[in-house]
Structure 1
Amino acid sequence: MGTRWALPLPEAVAALSAFAASTTRSVVPLTSPRPSKNASIPALARGETLKNKRGDLRGQAVETIGTGVALGAPVVQSVRTAIEFQDQTRDIAITGGFDEAEEKRLSYVMRGAALRWNQTQTEVAKGTGVLIAGGISSAKELAAYAPVMAKAATATRASMDDLGSVAIALNDNLGIGAAGLERSMNMLAFAGKSGQFELADMAKWLPQLTPQFAALGVTGERAVAEIGASLQIARRGAGTNDEAANNFKNFLSKITAPDSIKAFEKAGIDLKSSMKNLVNEGFSPAEAMIKILTVHLGKKAPAAAAQYGKALDLKDDQEKQIALARLDEAYKLGELFVDQQVLSFVRPALANQKDLGDIQTGSKDAADKGVLDEDWKKQNGQL
């Protein structure tokens, strides 16, 4: 990962030059009078004046590193980090078409975010690079995103790459920009604490799920709360977080698919219209489906929910699958949901209706509660 804080590249080169030169002065008298390999170091120090010419400065820094490898590893690492960070910053500036002042300000903000929130400056730059590659090209917006992403990365152990993708997905699909990012992260962090599906894994899947919610007309913080809660409930019917997320993704893609519509028609249900009406009334896609199933099952609905809950709690996997298959046949859910991955989401959603609603409500309430701040303090031993 590199050092968490490093000097700007020109200063780092100068520091290494001075260190190497001082060490050389103490070593040279003990060696033969041949010209020293360190003879170019003063020239490197003078090369600070070329700090705006990345290629020249990189070449000088590499030469200095070659000289100083055996002399001071921490200083060498500082220079390497500075080189990488300046490269990243320059690439961001080129992509965004920033002038020199904007580039310097963004560089300052990213380095400050790394220091304040205990991230490496290269990781912060990496996340910022994801943003600009995704079309967020305002230097002012990037400067607003960087500190929140750095805090979230340290607090939740999510990668800056994934958080950058989340920020783009929220912006493009749900209409949540830089000003709303921390509120959304607080909401997802709350949902992540409500079970096994943590925010770091949610961050990997949000870019795939937000377009599906937008297609259903669900955006903003409502969508964030519903996604977080649904993923947590999906986990109760899956062996891993990725399996749970994939089950939920398939559920979203199949609820309006022709085969699903046809299967529900046979049961006398207009699935497309029913889902649309319920979602418009404020129910999440998962809640809407449960409402439809509750009406379909009638008086059997409470017993079905309870029995599915007991089956999902079975520890022996083979015993669990047998019990679930029997219930699918008894309540004819297998006839409605041909896709097994969809059914693997519907079962825990039916069995955990109250928790689904509670996590959504709790997530909305957590938006301005500083969940990230508390988690960051815990990660850094301040609580």
Structure 2
Amino acid sequence: MDNLNSQTFDYTNLPKIRIKDFIKDMKIAKEKLPLDINELVDNTSLERALNIPFKIFKEIHKKCGPHVFKNSKDNINERKIDDTYNLTILEFQKKEIEKKKLNGFKSKTSARNPPTKDFELIEYLKELKYPAQQKIRHPEAILTITFYPPNQIYSQSHIYPCQIATHVDQKFDVIGLNLLTSLKDKIYCNSDYGLCEDISEDPEKPASYFTKDIFKSGFFLIENTFYNDMRQNSNVDYSEIIIKWTSDPSIKSGPYLSQTMESTKFDDLEIVLGKPYMYLHQGDCQHLFIFSDLRLINRFDPHNELLYPIRTFIVSEKLKYCYVCGLNPTKYITFNDPHVPDEPSLFCKECYMCLHYNNERKKVGNFKAYHYKDRNTTLNTRRFSTFLK
């Protein structure tokens, strides 16, 4: 709540969009336009439909048509450096391009190279076969939802407030038919895979449950309405105490409403594009998110409704390696470990077994151990499975 209220930008004057009304309005507008602009580029009826001179339209199509846009992987070798100026930075850029030509282009996500939709994934999904009854009925809206990393209220020292993370963490494409719960189940967060079961007595025992299997409650806060996940009888309505608190006239906030997430579809929502909303789960893990785009589905999108929501982007995390060998990725994390000076400590399987068990595989020392889970180990490492999971 504090994080949302701390935003200084005034969103009150921005128009609210009801998804159902958007689909209806776009359907009416689409009926007035030609069916396929690409097929009617040379047709003078397009000039009348768009109410712009046909010469201007041809120029726009030439510079902004689908043929212009390429994946950066395709045009990296076509990039040229202007030799007009003798600048040191240009020499560095030339060397970087030559390096990428030799080693192959690898995409990086940074502040200067913002995350984009994975077009190879979209093409892969479009080629999947599916029954006719799963085909999306037109017109249908696609919402692009951008999530930011979870914001902790206090830093580790519990003295200085943390800054809100501004880099993108995940992106999803959803359709109006999707329930809010379908998006909640696709959001990845490390706090959902918290440590629950001590496996120090049996290191080969697989993890049988995580925090997300115990604490399943959560809500989306969108336009003063809390959408709570109440699919399980044990789920808690996190918004109840907030609504009760804001009912006090001295609290200048609200009023707030409460609805269930499992009975609400995206086309029931009324949103403001670009306005920050909040997703809360695991008690106090808060994610800011925005609706960054709203459009009608087109021929470039997958038309199988069961594929949505589609995670079109997720930021990669730096792989954590074993504290002992520094070569292998982490598989175990220990606490109160007498064998190492660090608390907690991370181990690969080989180092963990050598340090903590004898030849008879009996535990040596009094410590607690858990399977280590992060984004790299939890999500399937195969390219497209990561996005579909």
TM-score (norm 1): 0.23
* Higher radius of gyration, 1 or 2: 1
**Bigger relative contact order, structure 1 or 2 (CA pairs below 8 A, ≥6 apart):** 2
Higher helix proportion:
1
TM-score (norm 2): 0.23
